[in-house]
């Protein structure tokens, strides 16, 4: 088993984050600094920052309705509030699956299951995420079709998206936006590409699993049915 997968199964972090730990020289195997792509064998002692880790027999899964004003990291070098501060005491060592930017609200999953985190965040799996967006002013059919077909961000087109207006008045328009990527601030930047400013953004669904009535800032355990759904997406 590759060392990054082993660390993920130990609940250290997602595979991508584990790769970073390895690259930084913070992971050792039998007292020797681990290398990317290294295999772990039965009986090997693996440590992260000097602390031994071992595979877990079971995992924990939680859902948060993230409020704005929090960053989705375990620690923040700018001393901003992190979503970890909203988790209840006693949940163990969890990490957020994917990210929502500082000003975005909504669904955020926490777990110590690195394989699930990998499944939900790896671009090749194209897991759908649906957002409620509120923009200033109106939006034309031409602009909507541009968003649906793909707009250029960082020199390449976004994949096709589902975009639907759900309400509009003289000042604002509300839309549902479903994407299958996870680029940095993607939904906000997509609207910027067609000249629109997002004033509110909330992730409301991952796949077909919705946030329901969970209050802003609240956290709850996932049900067995939800865990089964996510692990089989």
* Residues recognised as catalytic: 101
- DSSP bridge partners of 162: 178
* Phi, then psi, of 15 in degrees rounded to 5: -60, -40
CA angle 80, 59, 120 (to 5 degrees): 65
**Is the Cβ–Cβ distance between 200 and 134 less than 8 Å?**
yes
């Amino acid at each position: 088993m590759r060392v990054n997968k082993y660390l993920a199964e130990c609940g250290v972090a997602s595979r991508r984050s584990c790769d970073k730990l390895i690259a930084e020289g913070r992971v050792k195997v039998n007292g020797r600094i681990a290398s990317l792509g290294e295999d772990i064998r039965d009986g090997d002692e693996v440590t992260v920052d000097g602390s031994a880790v071992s595979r877990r027999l079971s995992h924990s899964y939680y859902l948060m309705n993230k409020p704005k004003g929090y960053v989705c990291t375990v620690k923040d070098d700018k001393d901003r509030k992190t979503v970890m501060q909203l988790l209840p005491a006693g949940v163990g060592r969890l990490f957020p699956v994917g990210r929502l930017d500082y000003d975005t609200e909504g669904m955020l999953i926490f777990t110590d299951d690195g394989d699930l985190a990998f499944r939900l965040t790896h671009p090749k799996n194209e897991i759908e995420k649906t957002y409620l967006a509120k923009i200033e002013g109106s939006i034309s059919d031409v602009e909507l079709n541009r968003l649906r077909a793909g707009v250029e961000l960082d020199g390449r087109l976004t994949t096709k998206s589902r975009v639907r207006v759900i309400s509009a008045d003289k000042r604002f328009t509300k839309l549902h936006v479903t994407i299958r990527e996870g680029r940095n601030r993607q939904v906000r930047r997509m609207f910027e590409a067609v000249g629109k400013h997002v004033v509110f953004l909330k992730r409301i669904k991952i796949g077909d699993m919705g946030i329901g009535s969970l209050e802003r800032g609240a956290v709850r355990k996932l049900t067995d049915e939800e865990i089964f759904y996510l692990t089989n997406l």
